Amino acid sequence: MRIFRHFSEVPQLLRDAVVAVGNFDGVHLGHRALIGEAARQARANGKPLAVLAFEPHPQEFFKPSPESFRLTPLRTKARLIAELDADAFFALPFDAAMAVRTADVFVRDILVEGLGVSGVVVGEDFVFGKGRGGNLATLQQEGARHGFSVTAFHTVLASAAAAGEKTEKISSTRIRDALKAAHPREAAKLLGRDWAVEARVEHGDGRGRLMGFPTANMHLGHCLAPAFGVYAVRAAIVENDQVIERHDGVANFGIRPMYEVTVPLMETHLFDFDGDLYGKHLSVELVDYIRPEMRFSGLPGLIAQIADDAQAARAILAKCPRLPTLDG
């Protein structure tokens, strides 16, 4: 899959594509179904398959905040989209110039002249253009005028009947809410995989190693912060976007009340691992929530609790089948 940060001078082999358009934060089951419809049309008509999204997310442009809401930073999103056999991913910059493009100018400049699309697939609630002035009807009118097809993909629903809830729309918002509420399993049902944090491993203060539980320390950066607490996790060591090694583990995300850390940190202890992870790229999948963060009166209590947490994580992971991940 080729990744583009622009819509000009697109190679001829990638023009005339069927393009799935959306934000696709999380690349959840609903997004995957929408992209799958675009793929079906592309294959049926012998066309390339492309995905178009904005980077940064438009909400980050209009409502900047120090706390990120993103489920999938660009690197993760690109890898997930590549799994769906897209030929191209257009991660177009959302800046002041993009924000003032009206709906008709967006269609003319980007879809028609830039990408030369043969078809577009969007969600039924799709809006676009300056001030969200364009909607599905607008896009259909523009498609008829410029000669490309427009397909409105119906919202994918998730059944929560087992929990006594109504069937609801799969959405990135629901996934964010589940992670914030310490329900990673609920998030996984909507994503179709365990949600993962990806970052470089940084040098820490070495306390974990001294206590007999060495940890890989990661700052989340441009990524959603889930609920503080301890998780059963599965971690993958990634090199050149390829998973080279996997380990079960236990992780704490938070501010470590005993040590008053000001910036939340993900600290992951990998089971049955003895190696150097500093500087390596780690993907930590949150499988289940064990407990909230706690303050201890001293090291003995903390060490005993970490041992209990590790035992709990092993028991949870032994019962939880591994869901599909970034590398399948």
Confidence band of 203 (pLDDT split at 50, 70, 90) = confident
Kindly tell me if the per-residue pLDDT of 232 is higher than 70: yes
170 domain-assigned: no
303 domain-assigned: yes
User: Does 144 share its domain with 233?
Assistant: no
Six-digit token string for 4: 């583009």
Domain boundary among 125, 155, 185: 155
We report the CATH number of the domain holding residue 295 as: 2.40.30.30
Q: Which of 297, 287, 225 is nearest to 255 (CA)?
A: 225
User: Does 95 share its domain with 148?
Assistant: yes
pLDDT for 160 equals 45
- State the residue range of the domain holding 248: 194-319
Mind listing the pLDDT tens digit for each residue in 90-114?
999 999 999 999 999 999 999 999 9
CB 183 within 8 A of CB 191: no
Mind listing the pLDDT tens digit for each residue in 125-159?
999 999 999 999 999 999 999 999 999 998 777 65
We report the CATH number of the domain holding residue 150 as: 3.40.50.620
116 domain-assigned: yes
Kindly tell me if the per-residue pLDDT of 162 is higher than 60: no
Taking the complete model, does pTM exceed 0.85, yes or no?
yes
Question: How many residues in total does the chain contain?
Answer: 328
Q: How many domains does the chain have?
A: 2
List CB contacts of 22: < 8 A, sequence separation 6 or more.
31, 34, 52, 53, 122, 123, 126
Count CB atoms within 10 A of the CB of residue 295: 10
> CA quadruple 239, 228, 232, 271: dihedral positive or negative?
positive
